[in-house]
Structure 1
Amino acid sequence: MTWMVTGGAGYIGSHVVKAFGDVGLRTVVLDDLSSGHEEFVPAGVPLVRGSILDTPLLRQVLAEHEVTGVVHLAGFKYAGVSVQRPLHTYAQNVTGTASLLEAMADTGVPAIVFSSSAATYGTPRTDLVTEDTPTAPESPYGESKLVGEWLLRDQGVATGLRHTSLRYFNVVGSGSPELYDTSPHNLFPLVIEALLAGRTPRINGTDYATPDGTCVRDYVHVADLAHSHVAAARALTDGRPLEHVYNLGSGQGASVRQIMETMADVTGIAFEPEVGPRRAGDPDRIVASGELATRDLEWQMRYTLREMAASAWEARTRARTSA
């Protein structure tokens, strides 16, 4: 049994590949390395460099490696940038997913775990997001992820495809010292890179309707996320019933200022964040219940916020030292 992980050379994807390997499940990685890193793929795991838009290549990989399921993480993941690049976003996230599903149908691959996003909810009107919270994406990125979920649903009706979609919130930390987040847009790497460069990290807005005035978000550890991908893959392989959508959320959340204070604590670098203006479209609070995922996908918050921050800092500084 082999699972293909698209985007498996990226930050989240490499943790998913590691989690599969930790329980003895074989994987093959397909990644165009536009944001992934070849060195993130474990030794012994085949890496095919290519695009999910290349349907013939997908067919070839699925057939040659006798793939029995796919974890689909490849895509364009920058919500803010997607507003300026909507056509690129849709090509990668919608056309790319359709290409993958076509190749799977052609080669008889029966199961897929899809990397979706909290961006499908837009600005929720509830303090705690559940899977029943209405979807109202506010960016081409969020829209493209929702369309991806629809494609899986419709293919399930048409062909019997077994599938589930996991909606991520803010994925942070490191589950292995050599793997770290290299995104130029995520909060943890932005803070870390600022500190490493001797700059002061910045908070965008301090007048939100939250206890300390800064946005509250749901932060989950990447290793916990990866663990639940394996649980989902095993359930689909076994034919166990799964919901079509799960939130991987903490149920609690933390503010941006709390993140700054935690980073100062774990790094030993004392700083007072700079304060800038609000960013357009940032809601006060987005926190999700992970109750359904706990029931079905072995979802559990195994790390404190401090442990998340410390693991992220350790992995990034180790990489810097060894470079």
Structure 2
Amino acid sequence: MIGGPTAVGKTALAIHLAQERRVRLINADAFQIYRGMDIGTAKPTAAEQAAATHHLIDIKDPSESFTVAQFMDLAKDEIKRAGELGELPVLVGGTGFYLNALRLNLPLGTEAASPARQHWQDFYDEHGQDALWTELNQRDPVSAAKIPAGNARRVIRALEVIENTGRPFSNQKPAIPIYETLVIGLTTDRDILYQRINQRVDAMMTQGLLAEVQRVQLAAGTNKQALAAIGYKEFLPYLAGDGTLADAVALVKRNSRRYAKRQLTYFHNQMSAHWFDLVQHPAEMTQIDELLDGWVHK
């Protein structure tokens, strides 16, 4: 698994590995799965995809929803296919929860919407995340201590399980990993990372990001999931006549920097990664190759 914050070279590393080994590159970015969301998600370009095929990219329309459970099922299929072809599966992306759910084989349960889920979704819409979390804390304080109020989707899921099973969410069967996993984390100094993010957003605007957002908004219809992506949602008020374009761009940069910080925190705390800085120290690519060779041999 190759993870880390945005703008640190994950795609470049993946292509390097693909050119050196028999690998199967599998996307683990929650929004690169959508067709037409190319610029704002920093999706591998046509040239990059020609250099190395990336799987699980462009598999959904913006009007469709997508879940971590669906990702896990599709990723497992790709991993199985890699094994049949004698390829090393390499998952690449910054959506830490996708990677960690697959790495640990987290039990996510059914994704079919139940009346209980709709009930708690309606409760959240009416009363907000703090009241929702309080409901979970009253029913299952162990789970509430592990799930922040800001992760409303996970809180709703926990409450749904409690209501459907009559048992605390914390009593779910423990995860049993089914894969041996090596996690390579990419990072760099915070100031350099933020500068790269700002420059990337400017480049995206030059490449036509605003027009892409308009196309995605038209294609997404009533689906709010695709348009929740950073680099898209910030332009919606501007397109509705509220605020300036400069303000929207500044907001994309700010939100991208904040997201990068959250990504780093997640990977450091949850993923037990081997960290490298290819931005400032490109020669560390040799260390990555040696680490991977030793791990595969073992």
Higher helix share: 2
What band does the TM-score fall into relative to the shorter chain?
0.3 to 0.5
TM (norm. structure 2) is 0.33
Q: Larger RCO: Structure 1 or Structure 2 (Cα < 8 Å, ≥ 6 residues apart)? A: 2
TM (norm. structure 1) is 0.31
